[in-house]
Structure 1
Amino acid sequence: MTLKFELDLAIENKFREMAMKKYGYQKGSLLSAIKEAINQWIQQQPQDIPKVDDPFDLIRGSLSHLKGKMTSVELQKEAMELWAKKFS
């Protein structure tokens, strides 16, 4: 499986530095550090997260009162804020 993502340059540089110090300056050190970081993140999350077949069902209708009052960009921002409040 492949994941692609962008990091802030300062975070990326610090991550690379720490990964190479811990795992050595060879091929695979970043992968080892990424696996460790993801596993630690998974362990820190609550284990009782309910399974959701369609995540849109969780927020469907939440923004209906705003229909016609906001642009699509504003609605998207509002949806992200609602999602963050509800699930964080």
Structure 2
Amino acid sequence: TDIITITQYLRPTPRHLPVARWVKPQEFVEFSEAAEEIGFLGVLAGPLVRSSYRAGRLWARSMQGKGRHIPEALSHLADANLGFAQASSAKAVS
């Protein structure tokens, strides 16, 4: 597997399990770094990250990491200027 998303469980309704604890932004940074260390090429980690969130950009990052060709019609997904709203911004806050 080359892609992973790490997120916070959010209780959708009162009939669902409650949130056991809130994960701190710095923990998501640590989870992201650990996932990269064990070989994941595309990692998104944050409290509001969902598997469909920026999936194309994550796929492109994984393809680039493998050195594989990205078709021209999808090349916009590899634009390095596209950011992710994830816990990586917490790296600067220590």
**Structure with bigger gyration radius:** 1
Q: Indicate the structure whose relative CO is greater, using CA pairs within 8 Å and at least 6 residues apart.
A: 2
TM over 0.5: no
TM-score range, shorter chain: under 0.3
TM-score under structure 2 length normalisation: 0.22
Which of the two has greater strand per residue?
A: 2
Which of the two has greater helix per residue?
A: 1
TM-score under structure 1 length normalisation: 0.23
